[in-house]
Amino acid sequence: MITRQTLTDFRKDFATAVAALEKQYGIVISLGSISFTATSFEVKLTANEGADKDEVNEKEFKNHCRVYGLDPEDYDSRFTFEGKDYVIVGVRPSRRKYPIACQQIQDGVTYNFTAALVRQCLKK
């Protein structure tokens, strides 16, 4: 029987299993959300050119940042919002309302913000 725990374990094992392929081909392979039943599951697999996820996120940001009124140099920029410090770690074009991914420095959790809020915090 397939359970949430089965899928959590699968994600970890999958990442380990494809590590050699990622290195060999200079790509980063990631799994999207998984839908499942008791006997099967489906997942979207994505492969992006790059040495690691940070490099892929940076390239993606630089390709799309101008759409959101940001500059390529804004990647990895720091800002403070509501007393907490954040760093810009990517852009998610599929997230229409909150496309800018930022990692909170204090706890390492990634949050998504509107482009307008990020521009305001960066004083753009």
Tens digits of per-residue pLDDT, 64-121? 999 999 999 999 999 999 999 999 999 998 899 999 999 999 999 999 999 999 999 9
As a whole number of angstroms, the distance between CA 110 and CA 108 comes to 7
SS3 for 100? strand
Amino acid at 124: K
Q: Using alpha carbons only, what angle is made at residue 45 by residues 44 and 49, rounded to the nearest 5 degrees?
A: 140
Counting residues of the chain whose pLDDT is more than 70, the rounded percentage is 100
Q: Is residue 89 a contact partner of residue 104, using CB atoms and an 8 Å limit? A: no
Confidence band of 48 (pLDDT split at 50, 70, 90)? confident
Amino acid at 28: V
Tokens 């229409």 correspond to 96
Q: How many CB atoms lie within 10 A of CB 58?
A: 19
Q: Is residue 18 a contact partner of residue 29, using CB atoms and an 8 Å limit? A: yes
Q: Is residue 78 a contact partner of residue 59, using CB atoms and an 8 Å limit? A: no
